[in-house]
Amino acid sequence: GRKGKKALPYFEEVKGSLSLSSQALVLPKITLSSGEATHSLSGVVNFGKENNLRLKLDSKEVDLKDLLPFWGGDYKEKLRGRLDSNLSLSGPFNNLKAEGEILIDRANIGKEVINRGSAKFRFLERCLYLDYFRAFLGNSEVKVEGKIGLQGSKEVFLNLEAKEFSLGDLNLIKEIYQRAEGKVKLLANLRGTLNKPDLKAILEGDNLLVGRETLEQLKLKINYSGERKEFSSRITLGESDYYLKGEFEPLPRKTYALDCLLFVERGDLNTILNLARVRPEVIPEGVIGGEGNFKGEIRFSPEGIKLENPQGKIILSLTDGRLGNYPINFAQASLAYEKKVIKLNQLNIVSNEANLEGEGEIEEGGKLNLKVKTKEMELGMLKPFIPDNIDLAGKIDLVMLFKGTTSSPEIESSLLVRNIKVSEQTFDELKGGIRYVDNLFYLKDISLIKEGREAKIYGKVPFNWEERKFPEDEELDLWVKVPEEDLSLLSSFFKDITLAEGKAQGFLHLKGTLREPEYEGEVKVSAATLQIKKLENPLSDLKAQITFNKDTLEVDKFSGNMGKGSFNLGGEIKIKKFSPYSYALNLKAENLDLCYLPTFEGILGADLFFSGLARAPKISGEIKVKDTAYTLSPAAGEFDLSSVGLPRDALLDLKIVVGKNVWVKNANLRMETDGGFTLSGELKEPQISGEIKSSRGTLVFFTSLFKVTEAYIFFEKKGSFEPTLFVKAETEIKVKEKEGERGHLITVPVKIVLDQRIRPPGAQMPTSEEMSEGGVHLEWDDSKLRSPLTKSEVIAYLTHTESIQELFQGDINQVLQEEVEGLLTANLRLHLFDPFEQRVEKTFNLSEFRLEYDSEKNIQLKMGKNLVKNLLVSYATTFSEEPEKDLSLSFEFSKNKVLSYSVDEKQDYKLGLGLRYRF
């Protein structure tokens, strides 16, 4: 049944026996069943003169919800679990005594889990004694003991203790912060009466991890006086202190009046935001101070805690702050809340010379009336909110007025930005106005100015404030206009353009939607000159006519000259969602004087087609080269075609034709070539076929000059530009033979066959090991000599060290000492040092390893390692009685600029800048 809105206890079955007389009620045993719970009641109740009773109640598997049968609301829904208990009741009716025990195996109170618990209690002289109550949440134990008076003054005396309580055993904290680690100690005692209790509590812990915050020290103290209805609390987090004190008065209907003061000393902003679970894009830092007051009513109900009639004021300050890399010297805010209105009386933020001010109010329902203005604010403070690959700098003055509501604001703003830098581009000024109303941004005459040249932007762009995004299906109306301007503006936007001259004008009208934008506009360029980085010759007499038509960019004309040659590009590009979707372009070029140092210098012609989808376009056609010098790069085999900016899935069908007077060279090779090759397949792994041949040129080998008689360059490795070189070349050496006291020179022809990968410029001569493997083959005709030559002797003559042969046939004193030592050093280098150095470099993965032998009979060791690509650290020492030691660090800014620093054993240092010039 029910009593009002409250449910009465319900039993499915009651069975047993009883006997009733005028003197007593005897209950041998009565069993009551409710669900899985069973209750056993036995005893006797005496009437008449004795007027007393003796009863015993044993309960098993009692649902915790059944302990609160008369409570309404959602309290029953917050309890889960079962318990066993026994209760004994005895004594006269007017002075009953009771005692009992409770055992809990597993229970849930809200989100918390009690693994096990037990309690022992007594009721004596109208007072409830709690001998003990022990509960385990996870592995953490909580103890409570004391007494509660139930009549008269209703005195209360309770102690609570949890000495090593693990934060991870509190599901509420884990649910809020995801992570909670560390142990705390909690001590609390309750004194006074039930109507006017006095509470003292302390919570302490060290090295706690709560969410992303590590609390080196936590200390919370709470004091409450029921007599004075006053409370005070203090929280210590490391060096920060937070105070809260005031009045807490009970009112009817489980409501309490709150009137308190708040103080903050040395508060850490980062810690506060972490504990409040506020994670902005960039974590601000700083020391918080403040004070304020608060009034209101707190009402407790099964649905939660409700705050009624709140009002208050607070003043907060921030010092030694930082937002990303930008300092906040000082910030102060004064806030008030009254009659459901938040008033921002003052907001002031100072960063270096910049200042931000604000004032206004937010009414109930989110109605806005705010004003914010900045002066000389660093534009770089917005860096955290823009992509990482964009550098931003400048000074901004901004005024913003906020009306409407927080869910649908109306914003009116004007801005002026000076000395703007976006990545590597600089501009003098950006100015204009922006208005936001009814989910639309209105851009009013936004002007971007550089050196007197101006581009204008205006129109409207939809923006959904609630979802914080630009909707894809709402209409756009955005204009960009560039009146006739000097083309030098291009060098401000494109870092690879070092010079731009000429005139350009045009406009672009963006309409449609973000999902399916439409374009309208045109760009015209006349009599222009562009100098592109790394190209020696500029693009001159440049003319362009480009039209935007819905989803198509039509290249009506894009032509010009380079040197004595010309080029023309035409066709169209389909655009989808602001990116190229497909190509249909044709590039024709004749006699382009292309100089791309240090690799290519010559005349180029082309007839190329770009077609297909942008994600995998097809590049087909023919490229012709003539009157060209092509230098083989050390990294030729590592060249990646995708580095030119095309997708790796692009398809190739290119024919490269080598015409007249095309020379291929490196440090040791120079030869005139003809032939050609083709590129096919995917760009990420192109297939190269064909060969380039030569019958004219020179080859420097073993420091001797050979004449090329036959040579081929061909490509064998799939997906690589690493060529294989086959060369036949010949030369002559002069060998002196003695006849009696006189000798004469005999010419010995020498032929070399080189069949190996092209060696990078500056590479060492092949080792004897490489030669024995067949990569280099030497042949010589020594039939005119009396004694045949060995390979070592031929190499010695090729390296111009034939004087060594004389040393062992004549008087050594007749040869200059310097020449002897120089020849010995050369042979040591060739036959000993070079092979050994290469082995050590390869074995230990060094960038350099050198052994040098000088005229003082000293051996110098030098070794080095590239820490990163262009940074070399090296160490050198001499093996002598007074060794010299040197530690150096060098950084190669470019191929032609090297900065070095070195220090020797005497602590003397050198700082050098090396500049390499090409003559």
The pLDDT value given to residue 826: 56
Distance CA 34, CA 827 (A): 107
* Among 107, 164, 120, residue whose Cα is nearest residue 146: 120
* Among 366, 369, 437, 442, residue whose Cα is nearest residue 406: 366
Cβ neighbours around 21 below 10 Å, total:
9
pLDDT, tens only, 330-363: 889 998 988 888 898 988 988 877 788 999 998 8
Q: Are residues 781 and 661 in the same domain?
A: yes
Q: Are residues 365 and 465 in the same domain?
A: yes
In a domain, 897, yes or no: yes
Distance CA 704, CA 665 (A): 16
Q: How confident is the model at residue 421 (pLDDT cuts 50, 70, 90)?
A: confident
Q: Which residues pair with 610 in a beta bridge?
A: 585, 619
Distance CA 446, CA 452 (A): 15
Residue 367 is given by DSSP the state: B
Average pLDDT over residues 425-444: 87
- Phi, psi angle pair for 802, to nearest 5°: -65, -20
Q: Are residues 455 and 433 in the same domain?
A: yes
Which of these ranges, 460-469, 497-506, 758-767, has the smallest mean pLDDT? 758-767
Q: Of all residues in the chain, what percent carry a pLDDT higher than 90?
A: 16
Distance CA 547, CA 554 (A): 5
The pLDDT value given to residue 124: 87
Distance CA 304, CA 254 (A): 12
**What is Dmax (Cα atoms) for the chain?**
162
CA angle 142, 74, 191 (to 5 degrees): 40
Q: How confident is the model at residue 67 (pLDDT cuts 50, 70, 90)?
A: low
pLDDT, tens only, 513-559: 888 888 898 888 888 888 887 778 888 888 888 898 888 888 888 89
Distance CA 293, CA 240 (A): 19
The string of DSSP letters for 289-324 reads EEEEEEEEEEEEETTEEEEEEEEEEEEEEEEEEEET
Question: Which range of residues forms the domain containing residue 447?
Answer: 360-471
Q: Are residues 778 and 868 in the same domain?
A: no
In a domain, 227, yes or no: no
Omega of the bond prior to 647 within 30 degrees of 0, cis?
no
Q: Are residues 537 and 399 in the same domain?
A: no
Q: Are 109 and 78 in contact (CB under 8 A)?
A: yes
pLDDT, tens only, 373-400: 988 887 766 665 555 556 778 888 889 9
The answer for residues whose C-beta is within 8 angstroms of residue 541's C-beta and 6 or more apart is 527, 528, 529, 560, 561
Distance CA 154, CA 126 (A): 9
Q: Are 160 and 141 in contact (CB under 8 A)?
A: no
In a domain, 872, yes or no: yes
pLDDT, tens only, 247-268: 888 777 678 788 888 888 888 8
In a domain, 217, yes or no: no
Tell me the range of 398-412, 497-511, 825-839 where mean pLDDT is highest.
398-412
Sign of CA dihedral 883, 887, 892, 897: negative
The pLDDT value given to residue 760: 41
Q: Are 276 and 288 in contact (CB under 8 A)?
A: no
The pLDDT value given to residue 415: 87
Q: Are residues 504 and 461 in the same domain?
A: no
Query: Which residue, of 64, 83, 110, is where some domain finishes?
Result: 110
The alpha carbon of residue 140 and the mean position of all alpha carbons in its chain are separated, in whole angstroms, by 39
- State both tokens at 682: 């995917």
Q: How far is CA 493 from CA 283, 371, 509, in A?
A: 32, 35, 20
pLDDT, tens only, 347-356: 898 887 778 8
Tell me the HSE value of 632 on the side-chain side, using a 13 A CA sphere.
Answer: 23
The answer for residues whose C-beta is within 8 angstroms of residue 556's C-beta and 6 or more apart is 545, 546, 547, 570
- State both tokens at 104: 């809990």
In a domain, 89, yes or no: yes
The pLDDT value given to residue 188: 94
In a domain, 224, yes or no: no
* Among 452, 510, 460, residue whose Cα is nearest residue 483: 452
Cβ neighbours around 597 below 10 Å, total:
12
Q: How far is CA 237 from CA 220, 275, 316, 449, 467, in A?
A: 9, 11, 18, 51, 36
* Among 262, 250, 243, 166, residue whose Cα is nearest residue 209: 166
Average pLDDT over residues 717-735: 78
The alpha carbon of residue 396 and the mean position of all alpha carbons in its chain are separated, in whole angstroms, by 27
Q: How confident is the model at residue 856 (pLDDT cuts 50, 70, 90)?
A: low
3 state DSSP class of 797:
helix
* Among 881, 827, 878, residue whose Cα is nearest residue 851: 878
Q: Are residues 43 and 92 in the same domain?
A: yes
Q: Are residues 453 and 568 in the same domain?
A: no
Domains contained in the chain, number: 5
Q: How far is CA 506 from CA 442, 509, 841, in A?
A: 22, 10, 59
Cβ neighbours around 370 below 10 Å, total:
17
Burial (0-12, 13-18, 19+ Cβ within 10 Å), 895:
exposed
Q: Are 435 and 444 in contact (CB under 8 A)?
A: yes
Q: Do strands 651-665 and 618-631 pair parallel, antiparallel, or not at all (unpaired)? A: parallel
Q: Are residues 459 and 479 in the same domain?
A: no
Q: Are 737 and 786 in contact (CB under 8 A)?
A: yes
Distance CA 420, CA 402 (A): 26
In the chain, what is the straight-line distance between the N-terminal and C-terminal CA atoms, in Å?
109
Query: Which residue, of 553, 581, 614, is where some domain finishes?
Result: 614
In a domain, 702, yes or no: yes
The pLDDT value given to residue 839: 81
Which of the pair, 90 or 309, is modelled with greater confidence? 90
The string of DSSP letters for 11-31 reads -SEEEEEEEE-SSEEEEEEEE
Query: Which residue, of 614, 633, 661, is where some domain finishes?
Result: 614
| Number of helical (H) and strand (E) elements in the chain, helices listed first | 8, 53
H/E stretch holding 837 reads: helix 834-844
Average pLDDT over residues 869-876: 86
- State both tokens at 82: 């079962």
Distance CA 283, CA 285 (A): 7
Q: Do strands 565-576 and 579-596 pair parallel, antiparallel, or not at all (unpaired)? A: antiparallel
Burial (0-12, 13-18, 19+ Cβ within 10 Å), 199:
middle
Q: Are residues 638 and 707 in the same domain?
A: yes
Q: Are 438 and 462 in contact (CB under 8 A)?
A: no
- State both tokens at 187: 């001590």
Q: How confident is the model at residue 613 (pLDDT cuts 50, 70, 90)?
A: confident
* Among 115, 255, 275, 84, residue whose Cα is nearest residue 179: 275
Which of these ranges, 388-397, 572-581, 754-763, 837-846, has the smallest mean pLDDT? 754-763
Average pLDDT along the chain: 81
Q: Are residues 462 and 502 in the same domain?
A: no
Distance CA 466, CA 476 (A): 19
* Among 866, 884, 863, residue whose Cα is nearest residue 874: 863
What phi-psi label fits residue 239: left (phi over 0), alpha (psi between -120 and 50 degrees) or beta? alpha
Q: Are residues 546 and 406 in the same domain?
A: no
In a domain, 796, yes or no: yes
